[in-house]
């Protein structure tokens, strides 16, 4: 009998177009094979002669990482079988067509993610084997697979939290929440490679590359590595934080439109941190990386967010008798807002009941296991006060639940408590609504209703765990017990008389009503109210006062008095930070008793508004005329205006234009053509910056059709 000719591999078709579409990765392109674990993909192998399963032996070898090892899970060898043998690496369901072999490859749902090399070894009988390189592929987490730890059983949610490449970050103040459009761009061509570059530059990888790669099957591990690598406090992470006002050595955090330019700059410069980021930039870039890797992720904003370093669940703030909010040496603070991520996953490392959304925070606030990272902390654990569960749950619990104690300071001493607020922290916790541009409040996911029996019970449970069994006394307990918070003889409120536009005088109204109290049940009282206005910083602190005012009045029992106040534009014109936030505070001193009352009003100034219109239907590769209009509603000119446009699928990279000076009261009209590159729902982000106002932002949702579609 003639000996059968040696089986030789002549060509390989990785069928990237078909596979990528079936694995929801076609948005990354179809030039490379990019697949998700726990789901089969298909190859066509062409040989020198027909494949004979009884004589020809094919062994597949898949390898990833620097020292592939079957023990570490970074190397797999598997044979051709008729039927898929379960949740293991396998090659099965093959069909023979002339000289070609169509085969289905399956990766287990707990496989290591990463760049893989795929080879085959061909042998006949006991003869020697020949190895061929089939090619490379990228393996990602698979939230479509019920066996994967990131499984999310809702196509609507998957479209939002994996496939949507744009969204909104919510910023500002709890009473003036602004939506900030952001281009995540996780499917831009080189972003997937940059994501793995980030993992490969982590301290864990530099210390032990083989071990690090072997742990990339674990979503909890990968999330913690990314959380540490988005900031640059310990390593050559992606972003350098800057909470000052000098951004001359980089880009102001307010001037980023999206993640793509940041990630590309970091990679192009060899991993040098990009300047600069603040919380919403860190979280938005992490959202890009995690969605790209296949982990359902969203960006979450917490308004009035506590940073409680000493874990006593109390944040102290101080005012003097002139109503000036004072800086403090303490690291505790209350951010106007803070932004973090939630990633969806099963927590096999925790007891049952804590799966689902997990908080991850890449902003460098505090170390965790020696590195500046935070999470994953189960949102369910935070709501239930289970602060003993990993990771960093006490820190996140305090961010949304700490109490605020406001002190009156005199002669360097805390003289009295002006307020003890149990519900002023953790307000309007927000994320983008699924399938909509609207904001969704998810506060109830983090805590029971403020003041409810359940909320207080959870607070006491968390306090016992965080403060220890001794119930260490809180710093204000002595004053509380000595009547430090007696009832007040009047109620004070500050209101805005009209919408606060940047560049206009601000009109406020002080309302005071005399109410009964234990010291002066019914008689009149004299009040001296000292007012102060300060620029309010994102970190919750303030700058030096730029406006002061004093009001004296007598208040009869049962009467309400209204007092108008004017804060001229000339006072705040050059005094505000880029956030354009003002804190107006008033301390009312009761002349009969010497005791004090506090009234506060935070004001968020409205910048001019952008108008963005497109003139016709958007089609791939067809010119789309864009009209951008900006009217300068301020009393001053906007100088050195620049415009930056960005939008994945609409623009490759960014378009930047210098616009010069826009005189007060004048209107700027810009027309330009875009050439969309991808079909489907897209978002165009437009940012106009000037010396006077850094963030005039707008967006336009655009649905792009395939060329020639009816």
Q: What is the 3-state secondary structure (H, E, C) of 677-707?
A: CCCEEEEEEEEEECCCCCCEEEEEEEEEECC
Q: What is the pLDDT of residues 458-499, one digit of tens each?
A: 999 999 998 876 554 454 444 433 334 557 888 999 999 988
Task: Choose among 319, 313, 290, 215: nearest CA to 588.
Answer: 319
Tokens of 139: 């393996």
The verdict on 31 and 55 lying in the same domain is yes
Angle between helices 219-230 and 279-293 (to 10 degrees): 140
pLDDT reported for residue 471:
53
Q: What is the DSSP string of 71-87?
A: TTTSEEEEEB-SS--SS
Distance CA 284, CA 215 (A): 25
Q: How far apart are CA 95 and CA 380, in angstroms?
A: 48
409 and 438 inside one domain: yes
Final residue of a domain: which of 566, 587, 604?
604
- Count of structural domains within the chain: 4
* DSSP labels, 2-26: PPPPPP-EEEEE--HHHHHHHTT-G
Tell me whether residue 403 is annotated as binding. Answer: yes
DSSP-derived secondary structure for 349-363: TS-TT--EEEEE--S
Whether residue 264 is found in the same domain as residue 289: yes
Cα radius of gyration rounded to whole Å, the chain: 30
**Domain co-membership, 407 together with 531:** no
Please identify every residue annotated as catalytic: 279, 338, 361
Check whether residue 634 and residue 503 sit in a common domain. Answer: no
Closest CA to 143 of 363, 297, 40: 297
Report CA 121 to chain centroid distance, whole Å: 46
325 plus 430 within the same structural domain: yes
Which residue in this structure is represented by tokens 């060899």? 270
pLDDT recorded at residue 557: 83
Residue 486: what pLDDT?
Answer: 58
Residues 400 and 328 placed together within one structural domain of the fold:
yes
For residue 97 the two structure tokens come to 């067509």
Q: What is the C-alpha to C-alpha distance for residues 14 and 194, in angstroms, rounded to an integer?
A: 23
| Predicted TM-score (pTM) of this structure | 0.95
Per this entry, what is the length of the chain? 710
For 229, phi then psi, to 5°, come to: -85, -15
Residue 482 lies in a domain: no
Residue range 10-26, pLDDT digits in tens: 999 999 999 999 999 99
Structure-token pair, residue 349: 């490392």
Residues 657-666: contacts with CB within 8 Å, 24+ apart?
A: 659/688, 661/637, 662/630, 662/632, 662/637, 662/638, 662/690, 663/632, 663/637, 664/503, 664/632, 664/634, 664/635, 664/636, 664/637, 665/631, 665/632, 665/633, 666/631, 666/632
Tally Cβ neighbours within 10 Å of residue 415.
17
Is 1 within the bounds of a domain?
Answer: no
CATH number of the domain within which 292 lies: 3.90.260.10
**What's the confidence (pLDDT) of residue 250?**
97
Same domain, 20 and 36: yes
Q: How many CA atoms lie within 13 A of 12 on its CB side?
A: 16
**Domain-embedded: residue 479:** no
44: in domain = yes
- 3 state SS for 545-567: CCEEEEEEEEECCCCEEEEEEEE
Helix (H, G, I), strand (E, B) or coil at 37: coil
What is the reported pLDDT for 446? 98
Domain identity same for 350 and 420: yes
Rounded Cα gap, residues 263 and 171, in angstroms: 22
DSSP 8-state class, residue 129 = -
What is the full DSSP assignment across 182-233?
A: EE--TTSTTHHHHHHHHHHTSHHHHH-HHHHHHTTT-HHHHHHHHHHHHB-S
Q: What is the 3-state secondary structure (H, E, C) of 600-645?
A: EEEEECECCCEEEEECCCEECCCCEEEEEEEECCCCCCEEEEEEEE
pLDDT of residue 583: 97
Q: What is the pLDDT of residue 480?
A: 37
Any residues with CB less than 8 A from the CB of 460 and at least 6 apart, and which? none
Beta-sheet pairing, 696-705 with 618-619: parallel
Residues 6+ positions from 55 with CB-CB distance below 8 Å: 4, 124, 125
Q: What is the mean pLDDT of each run of 10 residues along the chain (710 residues)?
A: 80 98 97 98 97 93 97 97 93 94 98 98 88 98 98 98 98 93 96 98 97 98 97 92 92 95 98 97 98 98 94 92 89 93 98 98 83 92 97 96 93 89 96 98 97 92 82 45 60 92 90 80 87 93 96 88 95 88 96 92 90 93 96 90 96 95 95 95 96 91 88
Which one-letter DSSP state was computed for residue 266? H
Query: What pLDDT was estimated at residue 656?
Result: 96
Q: Hey, what are 359's tokens? A: 């908080």
Q: How far apart are CA 489 and CA 513, in angstroms?
A: 9
Residue written as token pair 């804190």: 583
Look at residue 709 and tell me if it is in a domain.
Answer: no
- Residue 124 tokens read as 């006949």
263 and 348, same domain (yes or no): yes
Q: Which of 564, 583, 604 is the last residue of a domain?
A: 604
Last residue of a domain, one of 579, 604, 629: 604
Tell whether 148 is covered by a domain: no
Q: Helix (H, G, I), strand (E, B), or coil: what is residue 291? A: helix
Specify whether the CB–CB gap between 302 and 278 falls below 8 A: no
- DSSP code of residue 128: -
Q: What is the DSSP string of 480-527?
A: HHTTTTPPPSEEEEEEESS--BTTS-EEEEEEEEE---SSSSSS-EEE
Name residue, tokens 């009998």: 1
pLDDT of residue 518: 66
Residue whose structure tokens are 């703030």: 317
**In-domain check, residue 146:** no
Does 199 share its domain with 338?
A: yes
Containing structural domain, residue 617: 610-704
**Chain position carrying tokens 């109503």:** 323
Closest by CA position to 322, among listed 494, 495, 545, 509: 545
Same domain, 492 and 458: no
- Residue 243 is assigned to a structural domain of this protein: yes
Give the DSSP letter of residue 272.
Answer: P
Distance CA 253, CA 169 (A): 13
Flag whether 560 is marked binding.
Answer: no
Tell me the CATH number at 637. Answer: 2.60.40.10
Q: Are 519 and 319 in contact (CB under 8 A)?
A: no
2 annotated binding-site participant: no
Is 401 annotated as belonging to a binding site?
yes
| Segment 500-509, tens digit of pLDDT | 888 889 999 9
Residue whose entry in the numeric block shows the structure tokens 């490392």: 349
């Amino acid at each position: 009998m003639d000996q059968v000719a040696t089986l030789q591999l002549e060509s390989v078709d990785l069928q990237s177009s078909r596979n990528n579409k079936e694995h929801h990765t076609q948005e990354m392109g179809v030039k490379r094979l990019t697949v998700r674990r726990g789901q089969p993909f298909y190859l066509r192998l062409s040989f020198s002669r027909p494949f004979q399963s009884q004589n020809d032996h094919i062994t597949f070898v898949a390898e990833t990482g620097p020292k592939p090892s079957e023990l570490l899970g970074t190397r797999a060898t598997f044979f051709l079988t008729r039927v898929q043998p379960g949740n293991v690496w396998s090659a099965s369901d093959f069909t023979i067509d002339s000289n070609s072999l169509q085969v289905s490859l399956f990766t287990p749902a707990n496989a290591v993610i990463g760049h893989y090399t795929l080879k085959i070894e061909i042998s006949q009988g006991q003869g020697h084997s020949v190895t061929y390189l089939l090619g490379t592929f990228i393996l990602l987490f698979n939230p479509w697979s019920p066996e994967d730890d990131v499984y999310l059983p809702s196509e609507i949610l998957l479209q939002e939290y994996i496939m949507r490449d744009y969204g909104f970050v919510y910023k500002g103040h709890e009473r003036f929440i602004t939506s900030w459009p952001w281009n995540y761009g996780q499917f831009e061509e080189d972003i997937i490679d940059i994501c793995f570059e980030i993992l490969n530059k982590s301290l864990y990888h530099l210390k032990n590359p083989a071990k690090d790669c072997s742990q990339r099957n674990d979503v909890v591990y990968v999330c913690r590595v990314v959380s540490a690598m988005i900031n640059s406090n310990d390593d050559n992470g992606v972003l350098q934080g800057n909470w000052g006002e000098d951004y001359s050595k980089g880009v102001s955090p307010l001037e980023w439109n999206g993640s793509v330019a940041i990630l590309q700059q970091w990679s192009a410069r060899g991993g040098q941190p990009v300047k600069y980021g603040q919380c919403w930039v860190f979280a938005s870039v992490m959202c890009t990386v995690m969605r790209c890797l296949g982990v359902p992720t969203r960006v979450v904003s917490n308004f009035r967010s506590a940073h409680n370093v000493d874990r006593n669940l109390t944040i102290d703030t101080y005012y003097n008798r002139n109503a000036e909010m004072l800086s403090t040496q303490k690291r505790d603070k209350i951010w106007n807002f803070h932004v973090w991520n939630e990633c969806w996953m099963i927590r096999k490392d925790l007891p049952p009941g804590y799966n689902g959304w997990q908080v991850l925070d890449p902003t460098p606030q505090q170390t965790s296991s020696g590195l500046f990272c935070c999470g994953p902390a189960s949102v369910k654990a935070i709501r239930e006060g289970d602060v003993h569960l990993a990771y960093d749950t006490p820190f996140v619990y305090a961010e949304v639940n700490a109490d605020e104690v406001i002190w009156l300071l005199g002669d360097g001493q805390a003289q009295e408590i002006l307020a003890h607020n149990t519900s002023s922290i953790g307000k309007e916790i927000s994320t983008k609504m699924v399938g909509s541009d609207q904001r969704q409040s998810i506060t109830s996911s983090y805590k029971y209703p403020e003041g409810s029996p359940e909320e207080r019970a959870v607070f006491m449970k968390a306090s016992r765990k965080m403060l220890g069994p001794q119930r260490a006394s809180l710093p204000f307990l002595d004053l509380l017990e000595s009547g430090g918070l007696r009832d007040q003889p009047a109620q004070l409120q500050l209101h805005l008389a009209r919408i606060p536009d940047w560049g206009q005088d601000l009109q406020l109204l002080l309302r005071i009503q005399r109410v009964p109290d234990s010291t002066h049940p019914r008689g009149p009282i004299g009040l001296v109210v000292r007012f102060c206005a300060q620029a309010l910083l994102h970190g919750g602190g303030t700058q030096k006062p730029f406006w002061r005012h004093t009001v004296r009045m007598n208040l009869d029992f049962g009467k309400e008095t209204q007092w108008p106040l004017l804060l001229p534009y000339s006072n705040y014109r050059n005094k505000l930070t880029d956030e354009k936030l003002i804190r107006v505070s008033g301390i009312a001193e009761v002349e009969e008793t010497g005791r004090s009352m506090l009234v506060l009003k935070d004001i968020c100034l409205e910048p001019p508004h952008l108008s963005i219109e497109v003139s016709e239907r958007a089609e791939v590769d067809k010119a789309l005329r864009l009209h951008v209009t900006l009217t300068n509603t301020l009393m001053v000119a906007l100088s050195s205006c620049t415009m930056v446009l960005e939008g994945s699928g609409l623009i490759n990279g960014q378009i930047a234009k210098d616009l010069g000076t826009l005189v007060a009261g004048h209107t700027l009209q810009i027309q330009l053509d875009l050439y969309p590159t991808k079909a489907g729902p897209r978002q165009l982000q437009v940012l106009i910056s000037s010396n006077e106002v850094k963030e005039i932002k707008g967006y336009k949702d655009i649905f792009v059709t395939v060329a020639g579609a009816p």
